[in-house]
Every structure is written in structure tokens, then in C-alpha cells.
Structure 1
Amino acid sequence: MENTMATILPEIDIDRVTMKYRTDASEVLALQEVTMNIRQGEFVSLLGPSGCGKTTLLRIIADLIQPTSGSVQVAGGTAREARLAQKYGIVFQNPVLYDWRKVRENVTLPLEMMGVKKSERRHRAMELLSLVGLEHAASRYPWQLSGGMQQRVAIARALAMEPEILLMDEPFSALDEFSRERLNEELLAIWSQVKNTVVFVTHSIPEAIFLSDRVFVLSPHPGRLSAVVDISMPRPRTKEMRQSETFFRLIAQIRGSFEGV
């Protein structure tokens, strides 16, 4: 198995990415010489404190912004080619929903754009809404939902296209701890079936450990890759693992990597 994994080319290859922002008064270095490789079908987290460049790096991968220097290759091509080929599903920190469309219609929007038949996209929408616990809200409008419920709709919509790469920018940060942990488990259940590549941004150490195969730890000001932590817990992950000795050891290891910055 190890030899097989060694031959897998990285699906996302980030090479010495640096990002500078110019302001009226100065130049801000957000990311500095970040290099990392993410394998196909891998679930990784970008972990770090606020201001360390996690979201900036995710947006560079998604081809939403361009780095000052360095490059991103996706499946052997450019990030732009991957975006145009609709390889990405993206969930932002704040949900981006259309208030005049019902919840079900928000979820089906990507499928409509792809020309999927109405009956099929309706079935897929209800399947996804059930998965995120919102099947009862299918006929409501976004403005009738709480912020956390709106984010779950956004997650369902991103999953509708079954993207090869799912980019998630702190999607559960608005939820209470119980809902967050449940959605962690549901996200892994979906991922175990689809086996797409997931890049997940979070500032929660326990969340990163529970979800990920590997955790990339970014240091603050400027964002640099300070550690790569392999998560040595078997899959499927269960809620009981949150109380295991291995889980707490990994928390201590990652906290130690921050202290060493």
C-alpha cells in the first residue's frame, strides 16, 4: 500500500506561493514561500490563527485571486484550467444564497446550469438536504433560516455537482458545537462515498484532526508552512475517537508546532 501511495501524483501542487497586498501606507506580506502537495482523494486541513493567510491560500487554489509569485498546479494543469473545467466546489465562510429562491432551488442551481433534468435535480437536492438535516426546510426561503442553517444549504449546494475538489473556508464556524460536530461526521460520510479531494480551512485544532488525513499548520504574519501533521487515526472516524489518547496527543503535537513558530 505504501508503494502504491508513493506513485500517486499530487492533485494540487503548490510551489513557493507568496502573496503581498499593497495598501496606501505599506505592503502587507500575507503568505511567504508556501509549498505543499495534496494527493488525489485526500482530506487536508489548512490550520492556523486568524490572519495567517489560510483563506488567501484557499482563494489562490480556487483561482479567485492570483499570487504575487509562485504557482499552483491542479491535476497537471493550471488552477484557472481547473476552475473553467468546474473541478471545484466552494463553500465560503458566509453563505451566498439567493433570497428569492427557495432552499431546494438554491441547492439545485448548479445542476440547472449543467442542464440536469428537473426530476433528477429535485431528487438530488432532497437527498443532500436530508444529509445536512434540512429536508424539512426545502420550501422555505433563506431569509427564513438561521445563519447556521443557511450555511448548511450552501454546503449542500456545493456538493450537488459532486466536484473533484471541494474547497471549504471555515464552513461550520457559525454553528454551535453540537451541530458542528454532527456536520463533521456527515461531511466525512459524504466524502467516504465520493472520495473527492477536500481542502478545509479551520482555526479549530480538534476539527482539523477529526476530519483530516493531514493537517498543514500555517504560522501568522506572514503565513508560512510551519508543520505538516499526519493524522494517525483509522477511518471511519467516530465520535468516540474525540476522547481517545491519540486524539489528545495530536492536539498537543499541533499546539506545540504553534509554540515553536
Structure 2
Amino acid sequence: MNVTGTQLEIVMNEVTMRYRVEHGDVLALQQVSLSIAKGEFVSLLGPSGCGKTTLLRLMADLLQPTAGEVKVAGGSAGAARLAHKYGIVFQSPVLYDWRKVRDNVALPLEMMKVGKVERMRKADELLELVGLHDFGNKYPWQLSGGMQQRVAIARALSIEPEILLMDEPFSALDEFSRERLNEELLNIWAQVGNTVVFVTHSIAEAVFLSDKVFVLSPHPGRLSAVVDIPLSRPRTSEMRSQPAFFELITHIREQFEGGESL
């Protein structure tokens, strides 16, 4: 685990989230409490509709909890957002087709009024990090889906965020591309060293990537288990066929209340 001491990065205490709808309220999350250490890679795992993305958005200060408290880097989630402590990668890369790859990566720095020379230097550095240094002058539509997501990761890292929030970034990819990008993501994380919160509905993906897995059960979303992943690092593709890997998958599957299917 890539954790610096025992310093906590994200703490959620008894967080509840209700959405107002036309005919009443929907209880999306109920009294969720969790803590994530600085430098830790954790996954939020659960079936569709269990509140994983809602939980991520609460951490990012994109939503406000109905009840409970969210603390980030020792302060409020709002203060962390204003201090640019977050980088966010969504399910879709959300790249601008009319901007070259390098310009897409540099966009957050441009919005922060960073000079062109410096933001291009940083963009080139990040494209090297994600293995796309030869593609800076291409357009997003000229890249594969997996390459586009690597561009999105580079863009999220451009502001040197303390925390990287990832909402099912590889869910649209085929299995082979997804597994390869899992490995590439861990290589990037090993170099950058930030805290990563990764949303997924794949047990195998959560086990492969994480130091710790938070298992959510739906209707309403509740934290049903916290599972430490003791697999050694660096993680390798060979680990996917080891008994310990399958044992962890089986153990996590057993944590879902009522046997809900992923």
C-alpha cells in the first residue's frame, strides 16, 4: 500500500443522501462512514444503483449530503475543490474533438491562466507518463477508446491533484483493453503517488487495483463491507490466475447482502 504514515485524506461520517423527485424523495445513500488514507488506492464496488457515483460526487463537492459530514485533506470538500486538490476522470473521456490531444491535456491549465509555454511543457510531460508522447498533435477522434481515456487521465493529472477520482473509466472498453489499462493505471499511480478513489462494478478489477475495497449494497446504498487487499505490489497480469486472487473475489462476492448480482 502506497500510504504515507496514517494520515487520512478523505473521511465520511454518517453520510446520507436523498434526491428529490416528482413524487417524493429517493434515499440514495444511508449513513455511510468510511476513511481513506493519503496515498491509498481504493475502489467503491457495487451493482448499478447502489450509490457509487453519488458517493464519489459527494467527495468531490459536486453534491451536498442531506446529512452527515465529508472531510477532505483535513478540511471541507468545498475547500479541497477550490484548492484544486481533485482530478476527475469520468466514464466517457469528454475530450474536445476540435482540440488536439496536447491542447485537451492542457485545458485545465489554460483555464487557470497558466502560460502557454509552461502548459505545453506540462502536457508533453503527462503524455509521456501515459505512453502517448507521439500523439500530442493528433485529434481525439483519431485515437482508440483506451487511448482517449489515457488522454483523460493525463488531463486530470495536469493540475497535480492530491486526489484522483475515477468513475468507471474503463467500463466501455473490451476486456483485453481494460486489463491492460488497469496495469497502466497502476504504473502511473506508482509514479505520481496520489490518492485514488476508483468506482467500478467489476469485482476482479477492484481486487487487481486496490489496497482496499469498499463494498456497497443498494436500495438504499449502504457500506456493507470493507475488504483489505493484501496482494503484493507491483501487481502483474500473472496475479489474475493465482488462487489468492480468486479467493478475494469469492470473499467479496459473499459480502453482498441478499446475494445481489453485479
Query: Normalising by the residue count of structure 2, what TM-score does the alignment of the two structures yield?
Result: 0.91
Q: Is the 8 A contact 2:4 2:38 kept in 1?
A: no
Deviation at 1:243, TM superposition (A): 1.1
Which residue does the alignment assign to 1:174?
172
Deviation at 1:126, TM superposition (A): 3.1
2:186 counterpart of 1:193: no
Deviation at 1:189, TM superposition (A): 1.1
Question: What is the SS of the residue equivalent to 1:41?
Answer: coil
Matches of 1:53 and 1:259, distance apart in 2: 15
2:115 counterpart of 1:129: no
Of residues 204, 210, 217 in structure 2, which corresponds to 1:219?
217
Matches of 1:137 and 1:29, distance apart in 2: 45
* Superposed counterparts of 1:10-89, under 5 Å: 10-89=8-87
Change (3 A) 1:133 1:176: farther
Q: Is the 8 A contact 2:45 2:206 kept in 1?
A: yes
How many residue pairs get matched?
257
Of residues 249, 255, 258 in structure 1, which corresponds to 2:256?
258
1:37-90 superposed Cα distances (whole Å, 9 cap, x missing partner): 001111100000000000000000000011111110011110000000000000
* Matched letter for residue 13 of structure 2: D
Change (3 A) 1:32 1:140: same
Which residue does the alignment assign to 2:240?
242
Q: Is the 8 A contact 1:164 1:197 kept in 2?
A: yes
Question: What is the SS of the residue equivalent to 2:232?
Answer: coil
Of residues 220, 226, 229 in structure 2, which corresponds to 1:228?
226
Deviation at 1:145, TM superposition (A): 3.7
Structure 1 segments of 4+ aligned residues over 3 angstroms from their partners: 113-121, 130-137, 143-149
Q: Is the 8 A contact 1:131 1:186 kept in 2?
A: no
* Matched letter for residue 16 of structure 1: E
Which residue does the alignment assign to 2:89?
91
Q: Is the 8 A contact 2:146 2:181 kept in 1?
A: no
Matches of 1:131 and 1:175, distance apart in 2: 21
Report the identity percentage: 72
Change (3 A) 1:31 1:126: same
Question: What is the SS of the residue equivalent to 1:100?
Answer: coil
2:170 counterpart of 1:150: no
Out of 187-196 and 72-81, give the one that drifted further: 187-196
Change (3 A) 1:189 1:250: same
Deviation at 1:156, TM superposition (A): 1.4
* Matched letter for residue 94 of structure 2: V
Which residue does the alignment assign to 1:139?
137
Structure 2 unaligned runs (5+)? none
1:7-37 superposed Cα distances (whole Å, 9 cap, x missing partner): 7232101011111112112321110000000
Deviation at 1:135, TM superposition (A): 3.6
